[in-house]
């Protein structure tokens, strides 16, 4: 699978977190850091976001499989 870059709306939809929560978690080192794409744009590698989600699921003891939306 190609490690696509997810923009903020996609990351918010995938995680269910708000922009301020995502940035607070990044500042605390608890969410993957954004990749600068241009002067005023950032994105997150989809693989890192999926890995973070899987870690959250493992922390609660779930073996639930996450599915990537098909684009």
User: Per residue in 21-71, pLDDT tens?
Assistant: 999 999 999 999 999 999 999 999 999 999 999 999 888 875 555 565 555
Structural domain of 52: 5-59
Q: What is the pLDDT of residue 65?
A: 58
Q: What is the pLDDT of residue 3?
A: 83
E strand segments, 1-71:
5-6, 35-38, 41-45
> Would you say residue 68 lies in a domain?
no
> Would you say residue 16 lies in a domain?
yes
Residue 10 has pLDDT above 90, yes or no: yes
Q: Is 2 left (phi over 0), alpha (psi -120 to 50) or beta?
A: beta
Q: How many domains are there within the chain?
A: 1
Q: What is the pLDDT of residue 2?
A: 62
> Would you say residue 67 lies in a domain?
no
d(CA 8, CA 64): 24
d(CA 63, CA 68): 16
């Amino acid at each position: 699978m190609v490690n696509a870059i997810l923009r903020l709306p996609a990351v918010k939809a995938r995680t269910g977190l708000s922009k301020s929560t995502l940035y607070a978690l990044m500042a605390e080192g608890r969410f993957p850091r954004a990749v600068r794409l241009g002067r005023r744009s950032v994105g997150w590698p989809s693989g890192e976001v999926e890995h973070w989600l899987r870690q959250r699921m493992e922390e609660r003891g779930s073996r639930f499989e996450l599915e990537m939306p098909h684009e």
